[in-house]
Amino acid sequence: MCLAIPGKIVAFHERSGMRMGKIDYGGITRDVCLEYIPEAALGDYVMVHVGFAISKVDEEEAARTYKYLTEMDQLQELEAPEPELGPPEAER
């Protein structure tokens, strides 16, 4: 129910006095109310819930978290067992 999906703002328009945007979700586009993100600009990513953008995706934070996650514990990689170099199971 509290599902919110990240999408990219590809166009702005107005509908009966409300600031709306066209949001692209990897190929599918929908109209979304942007009244709650007045600072939103073209190309920004927003989290959309029931037709409303509720927050702007902070790209720096996203990049920082992802970098941390992927680089987390690189030392651990060195401790990982050597990959099995034998032939594929089917050929054994």
Partner 1 sequence: MKYVDEYRDHAVAQKLIAEIKRTVTRPWTIMEVCGGQTHSIVKYGLDYLLPKEIELVHGPGCPVCVTPLDMIDRAHAIARRPDVIFCSFGDMLRVPGSNGDLFQVKAEGGDVRIVYSPLDAVRIATANPSRKVVFFAIGFETTAPANAMAVWHAKAQGVRNFSMLVSHVTVPPSITGILQSPNNRVQGFLGPGHVCAVMGYREYEPIAARYQVPIVITGFEPLDLLEGTLMTVRQLEQGRAEVENQYARAVSRDGNVEAQKMISRVFTVANRSWRGIGIIPKSGYRLSYELQDYDAERIFEVENIQTLEPAICISGQVLRGLKKPHDCPAFGRECSPQTPLGATMVSAEGACAAYYNYGRHRVAVESLGAKV
Residues that bind partner 1 in the complex, under the rule CB under 8 A: 1-6, 8, 16-18, 25-26, 33, 35-38, 45, 47, 49-52, 54-55, 57-59, 61-62, 64-66, 69-70, 72-73, 76
Q: Which is nearer to partner 1, 26 or 86 (CB)?
A: 26
d(CA 9, CA 59): 14
Q: Which is nearer to partner 1, 10 or 62 (CB)?
A: 62
The distance of closest approach from Cβ of residue 91 to partner 1 in the complex, given in angstroms and rounded to an integer, is 26
The distance of closest approach from Cβ of residue 29 to partner 1 in the complex, given in angstroms and rounded to an integer, is 13
Q: Which is nearer to partner 1, 74 or 87 (CB)?
A: 74
The distance of closest approach from Cβ of residue 92 to partner 1 in the complex, given in angstroms and rounded to an integer, is 26
Q: How far is CA 7 from CA 3, 12, 13, 31, in A?
A: 13, 14, 16, 11
d(CA 19, CA 15): 7
